[in-house]
Homo-oligomer: A and B are copies of this chain.
Amino acid sequence: MNVGELAEKFGLSRSTLLYYDKIDLLSPAGRSTANYRIYSEEDVQKLEKICMYRKTGVHLKKISQLLSSPDYSVWEERLSQLNDEMNALRVQQKMILELMENPGKGEVETLFGSNRFSAILRSLGLSDKELEQFHIRMEQTSSEEHRSFLYFLGLKGEEADNIIAKTKKAIKMAIKDRPV
């Protein structure tokens, strides 16, 4: 296999493979007479692992190390890092919400009503779909539990009522649209 074929097979760009060769992460087994890169079956399997590991967000250097000596601790470290990164993102969300609520400090227009609600939703770090699913499952299990959970999150009475109303509506819609 040459670069183009390998790139397409894995949905990567050529420059990615050239880069991997450059940093000695994945060098082709050989070269053709015309100096084309030729990848072996082993190279293909190695690339498969690389792609999997890459999806965890660890640095290519660590991936390189992992390939030569599997080390379990890399995953624990990465999980811890991810935790920190998520917390950092949450801090950013909080900062934005503060700026939105205190336009005086940042001198931006005020935010209110349903906008504020959606901002709070996002600040919880969940996607809209995920949150809707969560609320639906809670409401179906126990409406009372749902309400206390919303209070638990620090929402005020009216806001909680709004969410519950929305969720009930969503459930009705879901039931209505359910295939027979």
Contact = CB atoms under 8 A, between A and B. Distances in A.
B52 A105 contact: yes
A89 B86 contact: yes
Interface string A108-140: 110100000001001101110000000001000
A4 interface: no
A40 interface: no
A53 B106 CA distance: 8
A122 to B, nearest CB: 5
Interface size, A (range): 35 or more
A83 B53 contact: no
B91 A125 contact: no
A99 interface: yes
A89 B57 contact: yes
B145 A92 contact: no
A109 B122 CA distance: 37
A127 B75 contact: no
A95 B119 CA distance: 28
A87 B111 CA distance: 25
A79 interface: yes
Contact of A107 (B70, B78, B122): B70
B91 A55 contact: yes
A95 B54 CA distance: 10
A162 interface: no
A96 B125 contact: no
A3 interface: no
3 smallest beta-carbon distances between A and B, as pairs? A57-B92, A55-B95, A79-B122
